[in-house]
Amino acid sequence: MTIKDKLAERAGRVENFLEQCLHDKGVPNRLFAAMDYSLLAGGKRMRPVLTLSWASMLGGNAEAVMPFAAGLECIHTYSLIHDDLPAMDDDDLRRGRPSNHKQFGEATAILAGDGLLTEAFGLMTAASIVNGVPADRVLRSIAVLAGAAGAGGMVGGQVVDMEFTGRDGVSLEELRGMHAMKTGALITAACECGAILSGAAEGDIDNAREFGKAIGVAFQIMDDVLDVISDTETLGKPAGSDEEMGKITYPSLIGLEKSKTLAGEYIDGAVRRLSGQSGAEQEFLVELARYIVDRVY
Amino acid sequence: MTIKDKLAERAGRVENFLEQCLHDKGVPNRLFAAMDYSLLAGGKRMRPVLTLSWASMLGGNAEAVMPFAAGLECIHTYSLIHDDLPAMDDDDLRRGRPSNHKQFGEATAILAGDGLLTEAFGLMTAASIVNGVPADRVLRSIAVLAGAAGAGGMVGGQVVDMEFTGRDGVSLEELRGMHAMKTGALITAACECGAILSGAAEGDIDNAREFGKAIGVAFQIMDDVLDVISDTETLGKPAGSDEEMGKITYPSLIGLEKSKTLAGEYIDGAVRRLSGQSGAEQEFLVELARYIVDRVY
């Protein structure tokens, strides 16, 4: 089984849960439709897959952790809906379909995002209340996730990104800091929470967090690289759009080759964090990390 | 001490906590300013006061519960910011000052709301992680609150409210249902979570929830009544604006006198839920309930 197949299989398991995790009881039809529309719009389900894999590798019960992992995907989805809004990035398309506000109107899109963000935390509690994961582990994970998704993390990163647009002289350090907040924090929390929920030792929780940080940076670098070297068909969005929009990227700051080398170094760092582990989940996480860079070639 | 003084004193204690509950570390200045601007814009702090009072009355430690109560106020505040947005109610003013998007722009206002909603759940975890309230109580309270604030509660109520606007033939039952979601659910959860956090018996948790439901309805009825009978100066916003906007209200459906009688009946029902209790907190909650109707005269 290739890593692509493995990823698809795991995404499928998450997908099955996502399809029935939102309840329409007492929810206005239009709102439910809007939340469902974006939550079930596909995607690699990378964040929940990471949570489940880290939890399994460290002795946790992936099935019990599933609602928490689904909550992470709800948070990721809400962030995409709000980022696409006219007042933000003003994107009409998302994954080849009309973005949420194009399909349901701006007011409903804002509220669908709010609903998904709120529902996310309800889902997380179910890992304990319904599935019996100890309450203190879930509570600590919620704290980690709220920090990662909030004003000092993902939400703050969006503000910094907006401030960069059109600004001259953004440094590599600033770029890295922005991405660490905007996309890195949630990926990092996905790994860290998987470890926390499994009841792992503090050292393993540290490893999960540092693994997440490293693959988050590598992922962003390779996204920038792909935008330069891919053709539009492979990419699924217009290639070269970053350059066209004057976006500050790793290739624009340090060049293409150095970007790829840097991403590889981050991945090596991530893989080292797995050296104390073994078994199928460890193997999967190593392959997943390598795939982030290798998918380019 | 009058009930107004008592309310003000308790609001002041909440205020003191709110002033230092958001941390600016790693948060972009502009985002932090926008969150702070709305969170510290005043207000009666009714929801956190209810949580603290129910927790105290049932033997809980109000100080330990404070971060959870502050989280409730963050959720209330985020909902005001998003409701005021151009795509929603498009209000330029809130509590006599420019609304958040007028002050900071639409993108920042959306993100300030997102930040406050996310931060809210982080604060709630602190009731356990920092202050030692048992984790299972906090987790159950988060579940209750996520339900009340989400798509089947507050967020859903906003959608239903938008659907009512301009629609003919909304029934009393539909109006009550909408308010129960839009404003009632959070007030109800404030009381219920206070009881849960104190470790109360299930019967007392039921009483807290039903008390909250009843005062929530009475509060909404009297808000509608006040809009009719007050002058603009007393009200702090244009009196008679509901009628002018063609809004469906209790007075417009059943008349002024019947509305007041109905509110009084809900308050009587709320007070009956306190009959098994005694002491200063019980007295305060009785007075608070009565005040919802009596503030009119």
Over the stretch B44-63, which tens digit does the pLDDT of each residue have? 999 999 999 999 999 999 99
- DSSP labels for chain B? --HHHHHHHHHHHHHHHHHHHS--TTS-HHHHHHHHHHHTS----HHHHHHHHHHHHTT--HHHHHHHHHHHHHHHHHHHHHHHSTTTT--SEETTEE-HHHHH-HHHHHHHHHHHHHHHHHHHHHHHHTT---HHHHHHHHHHHHHHHSTTTHHHHHHHHHHHTT-S---HHHHHHHHIIIIIHHHHHHHHHHHHHTT--HHHHHHHHHHHHHHHHHHHHHHHHHHHHS-HHHHSS-TTHHHHTT---HHHHH-HHHHHHHHHHHHHHHHHTTTT--SHHHHHHHHHHHHHHHTT-
Mean pLDDT in residue range A3-16: 96
Q: In chain B, what residues touch A122 (CB-CB under 8 Å)?
A: 142-143, 146-147, 150
| A151/B118 Cβ within 8 A | yes
pLDDT of residue A240: 66
Give CA separation, A143 vs A129, A146, A196, A214, B138, in Å: 17, 5, 11, 21, 12
Structure tokens at A158: 């969006």
| A160/B28 Cβ within 8 A | yes
Give CA separation, B167 vs A108, B80, B171, in Å: 18, 23, 11
pLDDT (tens digit per residue) in A26-42: 999 999 999 999 999 99
Q: In chain B, what residues touch A38 (CB-CB under 8 Å)?
A: none
Residues 6+ apart with CB under 8 A from A201: none
Every domain of chain A and the residues it spans: 3-294
Which residue, among B23, B32, B84, B114, would best test binding to A if mutated, counting the most A CBs under 10 Å from its CB?
A: B114
Q: What are residue A166's phi and psi, to 5 degrees?
A: 80, 0
Q: In chain A, what residues touch B35 (CB-CB under 8 Å)?
A: 151
Nearest to B150 among A88, A115, A152 (CB): A115
Fold entry, domain A3-294: Farnesyl Diphosphate Synthase (1.10.600)
| A151/B35 Cβ within 8 A | yes
Separation CA A126–CA A123 (nearest Å): 5
Mean pLDDT in residue range A272-283: 97
Helix axes B46-57, B62-84, angle to 10 degrees: 160
| A121/B142 Cβ within 8 A | yes
| A110/B88 Cβ within 8 A | yes
pLDDT (tens digit per residue) in A222-267: 999 988 887 655 655 666 667 766 778 899 899 999 999 999 999 9
| A28/B163 Cβ within 8 A | yes
Range with the poorest average pLDDT among A11-20, A165-174, B44-53, B194-203: A165-174
A25: distance to nearest CA of chain B, Å? 7
pLDDT of residue A244: 67
Of A134, A152, A138, A142, nearest to A118 by C-alpha is A142
| A159/B31 Cβ within 8 A | yes
Structure tokens at A226: 């792909």
Q: In chain A, what residues touch B105 (CB-CB under 8 Å)?
A: 87
Which residue, among B79, B118, B174, B186, would best test binding to A if mutated, counting the most A CBs under 10 Å from its CB?
A: B118
pLDDT of residue B227: 84
pLDDT of residue B21: 94
pTM listed for this prediction: 0.96
What is the interface size between A and B, counted as CB pairs within 8 Å? 161
Helix (H) or strand (E) holding A296: none
pLDDT of residue B281: 97
| B162/A143 Cβ within 8 A | no
Q: In chain B, what residues touch A121 (CB-CB under 8 Å)?
A: 121, 142, 146
Q: Can you tell me the ipTM of this complex?
A: 0.95
pLDDT in tens, chain B (297 residues): 899 999 999 999 999 999 999 988 899 999 999 999 999 999 899 999 999 999 999 999 999 999 999 999 999 999 999 999 999 999 999 988 999 999 999 999 999 999 999 999 999 999 999 999 999 999 999 999 999 999 999 999 999 999 987 787 889 999 999 999 999 999 999 999 999 999 999 999 999 999 999 999 999 999 899 888 876 556 556 666 677 667 788 998 999 999 999 999 999 999 999 999 999 999 999 999 999 988 764
Confidence category of residue A20, pLDDT binned at 50, 70, 90: very high
Q: In chain B, what residues touch A107 (CB-CB under 8 Å)?
A: 87-88, 162
Of A297, A295, A293, A296, nearest to A270 by C-alpha is A293
B221: distance to nearest CA of chain A, Å? 22
B75: distance to nearest CA of chain A, Å? 10
pLDDT (tens digit per residue) in A78-120: 999 999 999 999 999 998 899 999 999 999 999 999 999 999 9
Q: In chain A, what residues touch B163 (CB-CB under 8 Å)?
A: 28, 30
pLDDT of residue A246: 72
Nearest to B88 among A25, A31, A107 (CB): A107
pLDDT of residue B237: 60
Give the residue from chain B lying closest to A24, CA to CA: B152
A167: distance to nearest CA of chain B, Å? 16
Structure tokens at B194: 């206070």
| B122/A151 Cβ within 8 A | no
Separation CA B293–CA A186 (nearest Å): 46
Nearest to A121 among B26, B121, B152 (CB): B121
Residues of chain A with pLDDT > 70, as a percent, come to 95
pLDDT of residue B232: 57
pLDDT of residue A295: 78
| B139/A138 Cβ within 8 A | yes
Structure tokens at B101: 């998007």
Greater model confidence, A170 or B242: A170
Nearest to A85 among B110, B136, B181 (CB): B110
Q: In chain A, what residues touch B25 (CB-CB under 8 Å)?
A: 152
